[in-house]
Structures are given as C-alpha cells and as structure tokens.
C-alpha cells in the first residue's frame, strides 16, 4: 500500500491540531476574560451610589426624599434638621467615602497606615502641625446644638459604612488599597475643616525664605526679593543661625496659587435691577472635585451650594434671600518663631530669661507592613516645632509655628448660621464665628444690599515688617498683640461705584490702621475684573459667566510694550523678530489657539529661571511663594532705570530679556516645530483632573482619569484662572467651582463643578463636566420644582 500521501499529511494534521488547540485556549482565555469582566463590572456596578428606590435608615424620625437632578446634584428634603444631616452624611458617603477617608487621613497624619513607608514624612509633618489636636480643642468650645449636627452627620456616614462593609459594596479604591474605612466621628469633619485652613496657607514659608536670603546675600540684594505690592495699584477698601534649606526640606507647602475670584454688583449696574454675585475659588484640580454640590431643605432651611466632602452644611452658595462667596484674604496668620533650647534639657525653651517646659506629645505612627514609629511632637508657647534641623546641625535654636488655625475655632457654627441668614445683619453676625482661615466674603441679598468683609482672626502686629521674618521667641515684645477686633475688620456695604471685587489683591490702603499682609497676588485678575464691571450698567448673569471665563492677560498688556521698547536697539534674529512682531500684534488674550501666550508665559518662566536658579537652591525656591510678583517688580525697576541688583548681575535688563527670549524660542522650536504660525498655547497648556490612585499604574490611570488632557486657555493672571506646572504645562490649579446668581431669581443658580459631581468612575456624573469646565458651560440648579431620580430614605 502506498503511504506517501499519508506521510505527507501528518505534519499538516499536526499543524491543524495545534491551531485548534491554540484557538481553544484563546477561546477559553476570552471566555474567562469575559466572565471576569462581567463579574468585575457587576461587582463595581454594585458599588455605585443608589439614587432611586428606597433605603432604610433606622435612626431617621421621618421619611427623607432625595432627588438627584440631571447634573448629579442631590436635593435633600427633610422634615427636621436631625433627619437632614443624617441624610446629608449618608448621601455624601455613598458618593465620596474614599475621598473622605483619604482627606481625614491626610489631615490627621495617618496615611502611612494604608500607604506604607512612602507616607511617613507626610504623616510626621501633619502630626507636628497638629490639625487633629486643634480640631479636638475646637470641638470643646462648640455649642451642644452644633455638636448634635456633627454627630447626626457622622451617624449618616457610619450607616453607609456599615452597610457597605456588610454588603461588600465599598468602592473599588478600598480593595486596591487593602483598607476599609473606620467609624466616622465629629472630629473627622472638624479636622478636614482645619486642613482647608492649611491649604489656604499663611506665609510662614515666605518668612523662612526671607530669612534665608538675609543670611546668604548682601542686605540690599536680599531686600529686592522681599514681597512688595506695585504702587498705585487698586485695593478693595481704599487707601540667628538657622539652616533654612534643611529645616524645611520635607515640609508640605500649599500651592502658592491657592486664591480665588469673587465679585458682587449692585442692581444699579444690572439689567435685572437686582444684585449679581459670582464666585470661583481657585484650588487644586483633581478627581473627584474638592467640592460636592448639594441642596438642603427643611421647613427652616433652604440652602444650595457646595461643601467639602466630610463636612455638614453648605459653605458657599445661596438661599432664597441671600448669596455669598469667598476668596482667600491671605493675611499674615502664621508666624515662625526662633526658639532657644536649653542645652541641658531639650524640652525647655527660653522666654524672658526663664526656661519654660514645652509640651511633649506622643504621636505613634502606624506604618503598613512595617513597625510603628515612636514619634513625639514638641509644642512651645507659640506652637509646634516644625523644623527638625537642630539634630543635624547641633545648634540650640529651632523654629516653631504660631498659627491661628491651631487655636480653637468654630467655623462649622458659622456655616450653620449663615445657611439660615436672611439679610446682611444676620449674615455678618454668623461671620463672627468664622475665625480660620481668614476669607474675603462678598454678599448679596434680595433687599438690594451688596457687601464685603475680610473675616477671621487676623493678628495685630505693631509693625508689619515683623511678619517678614522669623521672630525671637524668647522676647515678649514679639508676641502677637491679639487679633483685629471683629467690628474693625475691612468692610464695605453698598459702595458708590456699584460693585465689590476681590482676587487676592491688596485689600486695604495705607490709611487702614492694622497690618493685614505683606504678600498679595499680582493685581492683574482684579484689574481685569474691575475693568469689565466698570464698563457697563447693563450687566447680566451671562456677563458674569463670560467674565469668569475671561482670558484677558493684563500682565502681558503691561510688559510686552516694555519688553519691545527695551529690545528695540538689539539686533534680533529672524525667529526673535517674528516672535516680537507676534507679541506686538497680540490682543493680550490667553486663548488656547494663540501662539502669543505660549511665547509670553514661557519667556517669563525663563526669566525667573535665569535670575534665581543658579543662586538659590531648588529646595529653598520651594519657599519662595508669590515669586512672580517679585519678578514683576524687579523688571519694572530695571526697565524704569531704577536698577535691580539681580538683573544687573545677569547682564542688565536688555541682556536678561534677550537671553531669556533666545532660550525660550529654542525650547519652543524643539517642542512645537519651526513653524511659529502653528504654535498654540493649548498644545502646552492642558488640564487633566487626576485621581489620587491614577499614578500607581497606567491601567488605573485609564479607568480613573477617564479622559485625555484637554487644551485650555487662561493662565494664573487671567480671571479664567488656570495655573500650570512650568515643567510640562499641565494645569493643576484653577476654578474648583464656578457660581453665578442673579438675585432677581434666587430659585436658581448657575454652576460648574469640575470634573463632575461623583466620586465613582462608573457614574454618569464622574467626568461629565470636564468639557464644561474648559468651555464655560454652566448648569442650573433649582431650589424648587426639582426633577430627577427619586430616592426615599425611610425610618
């Protein structure tokens, strides 16, 4: 029998069999993958917040209705405050419990318990600051009524936590972190409030920087870097041996751009004949948003706005009769003190020739997969020691921090009071309890009143220059002399000009009897806002929304002509000439599609690098807050002929401008190509709202970040605030919430909460407002006639 054909078919059959096996294996893998995907999807979907149907909450007295509107805003309607705040706690926890857990750990210094050794330095710093200890002291002075609200809110949070643990429906982030949330307490809410005071800062780092330059440069050269405010710019109410570099190398320093815009306009300047109010706080941009928008309603309360996840009430917003917004006042509420340590007793410090015993507080730090660290915090009469340099250098002087937020304060009581206020008098009475952080409040009411108050505990300095440097802690003459009396804080009611605006600019002229601050934001945002508000007596809510999205750059409007004039006698290359022609033809709008803002802002950044990088160490530059304002002043002085040591030592104003321009254009050509006509600000200046776990792995970034970076206009000096990291152009700070209301109809307000309401990445409201944030598309939120998904919370 001829078997040749059979022999030839054997390899082919083997190949076919291998293919079948491969296909079978692939099929099994795909099936397993599909099953796992379906299982994961079903599991993850089970963890989504419930917004329809019915949930039993045994501690309720009566039924509570929660209507979630088309933008994900929960409208909570309760018969009494007990049920209202229980429901608010439950609803917040449903959507933001992971954020709440991370926030209280960050503020309390307990991240190491779930993160591990990488968070130890962070925890040491926050244990030293003692935000939770300050919250404990604050809780002791709260009224019984406010303590009840805190406990009701915590009860609602804990009801959700217990249910989620029992039903295995905690958000996936907890599984990834290998953690579960502990019981929520009133102290957690107050500690988060203290963290917001920390995030808004108070200039201790600038004192440390000033001390560094005073000890490392000649006096005149050092003084050039001290903070100053440009003359004739508008205000709101009229006219020892310390190694700083090593002391604060591991300090957590808030972003220098944490500012805001707000303004209020009299009905005399509006189309409706009633006041308009606008507010957009500038904070870190992340997923989920720092704010949660909510509407709370009982027979006595009907208030809408935003709150920090983990805190009851509404901190910014409106009710039927009033509206309000805030910006950071930025006063000198933090003071570094140099302390002389007793060489024979490390826990004693000198004061008026007497050794005083400091408080030594045990703060053991539990570390995931490692041993607990026996950590101790030392507090002098001024506050916690926040420099650890003494052990390294062997000297007997250390630095402690006196800070108003570490005192007992009652911000939650203020929030609860102003939520119910019906007029300016009631609102201002509530502000008396809002002590830290100090904020610029603007106010409008349906009776036509517009008002402003810089509110909070602001220390009295006999000499404002004292707040520029660390002070000798051993001399009584340098102690704070109390706080500016409440009735003497900066205040404006119904001004003749018809509007009040703040943008972290200087708030009081030389005739104001008290020192407020040495450090202010550059005036450009305020000037642009005032320019628009002054230009019309027919302003509308739409005008206000447009102004919040305005990208007018008054810094460029001031400096481009100056730079052009200085370089007028310099022989420029072809590309340099093209760049200057573009800048001179610019309308000074920081539009995403323009090349000019890309050139201008990178040029300014390059000038800062040229002036400071070689002489000031990188870790010290981190303490150089508001340096852009200092750079502006150096450039003004040099261009006007007054001279600047820092600029002269770099070859003079002409050389500094030309060298920085040349370097800038070289870098931009490498990054964006030789065709300058195709350069766009938005190719560099992009926004992404990062989730805290997205940096762990690209897969997590894909799920949690959800969207690619988006091109965006604006900058740190435009009303549409969009501050960026100069290393890559990523926008990391800006309007965390935008709000506009016409007091002619207080039943509705206009909002943007970027990137969205929800903290759950599978929610429809997770990143649904990213495009809105970039493009300025607002949604309306109503106080009545609300439609949406209906959830009943029943006893």
Q: Per the annotation, where are the binding residues?
A: 332
Q: What angle do CA 190, 795, 763 make, to 5 degrees?
A: 65
Non-local (6+) Cβ contacts of 557 within 8 A are 588
H or E element in which residue 781 lies = strand 779-782
Number of Cα atoms under 13 Å in the Cβ half of residue 104: 19
Q: Has 644 been annotated as catalytic? A: no
User: How many helices, marked H, and strands, marked E, lie in the chain?
Assistant: 26, 28
Cβ atoms of residues 534 and 563 within 8 Å: no
Residue 751 burial class via C-beta count within 10 angstroms: exposed 0-12, middle 13-18, buried 19 and up: buried
- Look up residue 602 and give its DSSP letter: H
* Contact residues for 294 (Cβ-Cβ < 8 A; gap 6+): 73, 74, 75, 76, 88, 91, 92, 304, 305, 306, 307, 314
The catalytically annotated residue of 112, 146, 189, 260 is 260
* Cβ neighbours of 511 (radius 10 Å): 8
Residue 524's nearest CA partner among 553, 495, 560 is 553
Q: Are the CB atoms for 436 and 407 separated by under 8 Å?
A: yes
Maximal C-alpha separation, the chain: 119
Distance of alpha carbon 261 from alpha carbon 502, whole angstroms: 6
Q: For residue 449, which of 486, 495, 508 has the smallest C-alpha distance?
A: 495
Residue 573 CA to chain centroid, in angstroms? 42
Residue 21 sits at the vertex; the CA angle it makes with 20 and 23, to the nearest 5 degrees, is 65
Q: What is the CA radius of gyration of the chain?
A: 29
User: CA–CA separation, 83 vs 296, rounded Å?
Assistant: 11
Asked if 438 contacts 197 with a C-beta cutoff of 8 angstroms, the reply is no
Alpha-carbon distance of 109 to 102, in angstroms, equals 10
* Contact (CB, 8 A) for 129 and 384: yes
Alpha carbons within 13 angstroms on the beta-carbon side of residue 219 total 0
644 Cβ contact list (under 8 Å, min separation 6): 224, 634, 635, 637, 638, 653
Residue in 553, 593, 546 with CA at minimum distance from that of residue 280? 546
Query: Which DSSP helix (H) or strand (E) runs through 305?
Result: strand 302-308
161-175 burial, b at 16+ Cβ within 10 Å, e below that, comes to bebbeeeebbbbbbe
Structure-token pair, residue 639 = 């261009």
Per-residue tokens: 250: 């591991």
Please state, in angstroms and rounded to a whole number, the distance separating the CA atoms of residues 509 and 396: 40
Check: CB of residue 507 under 8 Å from CB of residue 237: yes
Place of tokens 């302003």: 539
Which residue in 618, 619, 615, 613 sits closest to 249, CA to CA? 619
Cβ atoms 297, 78 nearer than 8 A = yes
**Cβ-contact 455, 428 below 8 angstroms:** no
**Residues 6 or more apart in contact with residue 369 via CB below 8 angstroms:** 116
- What is the rounded CA–CA span in Å between residue 685 and residue 689? 14
Which residues have a catalytic role annotated? Answer: 260
């Amino acid at each position: 029998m001829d078997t040749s054909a059979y022999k030839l078919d054997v390899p082919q059959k083997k190949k076919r069999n291998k293919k079948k096996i491969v296909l079978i294996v692939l099929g099994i893998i795909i099936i397993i993958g599909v099953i796992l995907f379906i299982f994961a999807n079903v599991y993850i979907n089970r963890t989504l917040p419930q917004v329809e149907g019915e949930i039993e909450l045994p501690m309720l007295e009566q039924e509570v209705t929660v209507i979630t509107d088309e933008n994900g805003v929960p409208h909570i309607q309760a018969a009494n405050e007990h049920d209202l705040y229980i429901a608010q706690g439950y609803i917040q926890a449903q959507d933001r419990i992971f954020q709440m857990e991370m926030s209280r750990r960050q503020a309390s210094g307990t991240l190491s318990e779930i993160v591990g050794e990488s968070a130890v330095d962070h925890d040491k710093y926050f244990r030293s600051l003692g935000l939770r200890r300050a919250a404990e002291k604050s809780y002791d002075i709260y009224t019984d009524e406010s303590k009840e609200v805190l406990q009701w809110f915590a009860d609602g949070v804990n009801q959700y936590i217990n249910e989620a643990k029992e039903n295995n429906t905690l958000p996936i982030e907890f599984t990834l972190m290998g953690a579960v949330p502990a019981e929520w307490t009133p102290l957690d809410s107050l500690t988060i409030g203290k963290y917001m005071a920390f995030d808004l800062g108070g200039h201790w780092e600038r004192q440390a920087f000033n001390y560094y330059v005073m000890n490392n440069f000649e006096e005149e050269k050092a003084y050039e870097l001290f903070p100053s405010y440009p003359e004739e710019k508008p205000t709101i109410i009229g006219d020892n041996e310390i190694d700083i570099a090593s002391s604060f190398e591991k300090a957590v320093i808030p972003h220098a751009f944490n500012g805001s815009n707000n303004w209020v306009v009299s009905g005399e300047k509006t189309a409706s004949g009633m006041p308009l109010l606008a507010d957009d706080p500038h904070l870190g941009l992340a997923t989920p948003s720092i704010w949660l928008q909510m509407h709370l309603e009982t027979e006595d309360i009907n208030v809408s706005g935003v709150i920090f996840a983990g805190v009851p009430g509404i901190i910014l917003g409106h009710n039927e009769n009033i509206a309000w917004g805030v910006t950071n006042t930025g006063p000198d509420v933090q003071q570094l003190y140099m302390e002389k340590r007793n060489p024979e007793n490390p826990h004693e410090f000198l004061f008026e020739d007497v050794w005083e015993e400091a408080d030594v507080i045990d703060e053991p730090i539990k570390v995931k997969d490692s041993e607990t660290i026996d950590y101790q915090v030392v507090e002098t009469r001024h506050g916690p020691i926040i420099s650890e340099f003494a052990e390294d250098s062997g000297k007997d002087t250390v630095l402690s921090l006196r800070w108003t937020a570490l005192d007992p304060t009652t911000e939650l009581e203020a929030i609860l009071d102003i939520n119910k206020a019906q007029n300016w008098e009631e609102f201002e009475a509530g502000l008396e309890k809002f002590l830290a952080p100090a904020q610029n409040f603007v106010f409008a009411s349906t009776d036509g009143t517009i008002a402003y108050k810089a509110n909070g505990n602001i220390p009295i300095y006999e000499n404002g220059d004292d707040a520029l440097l660390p002070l000798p802690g051993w001399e009584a003459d340098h102690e704070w002399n109390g706080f500016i009396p409440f009735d003497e804080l900066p205040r404006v009611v119904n001004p003749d000009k018809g509007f009040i605006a703040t943008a972290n600019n200087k708030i009081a002229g030389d005739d104001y009897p008290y020192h407020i601050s040495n450090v202010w934001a550059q005036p450009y945002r305020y000037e642009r806002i005032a320019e628009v508000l002054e230009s019309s007596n027919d302003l509308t809510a739409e005008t206000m929304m447009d102004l919040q999205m305005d990208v007018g750059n008054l810094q460029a409007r001031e400096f481009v002509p100056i730079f052009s004039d200085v370089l007028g006698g310099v022989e420029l290359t072809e590309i340099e000439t093209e760049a200057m022609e573009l800048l001179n033809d610019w309308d000074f709008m920081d539009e995403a599609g323009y090349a000019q803002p890309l050139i201008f802002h990178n040029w300014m950044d390059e000038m800062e690098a040229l002036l400071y990088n070689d002489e000031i160490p990188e870790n010290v530059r981190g303490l150089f807050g508001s340096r852009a304002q200092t750079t502006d002043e150096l450039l003004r002085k040099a261009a006007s002929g007054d001279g600047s040591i820092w600029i002269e030592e770099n070859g003079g104003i002409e050389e500094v401008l030309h060298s920085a321009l040349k370097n800038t254009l070289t870098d931009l050509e490498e990054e964006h190509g030789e065709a300058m006509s195709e350069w766009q600000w938005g190719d560099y200046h992009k926004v992404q709202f990062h989730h805290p776990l997205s940096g762990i792995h690209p897969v997590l970034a894909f799920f949690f970040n959800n969207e690619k970076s988006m091109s965006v206009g604006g900058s740190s000096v435009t009303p549409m605030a969009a501050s960026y990291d100069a290393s890559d152009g990523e926008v990391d700070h800006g309007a965390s919430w935008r709000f506009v209301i016409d007091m002619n109809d207080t039943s509705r307000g206009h909002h943007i909460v970027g990137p969205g309401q929800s903290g759950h990445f599978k929610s429809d409201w997770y990143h649904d407002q990213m495009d809105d944030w970039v493009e300025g598309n607002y949604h309306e939120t109503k106080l009545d006639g609300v439609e949406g998904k209906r959830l009943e919370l029943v006893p």
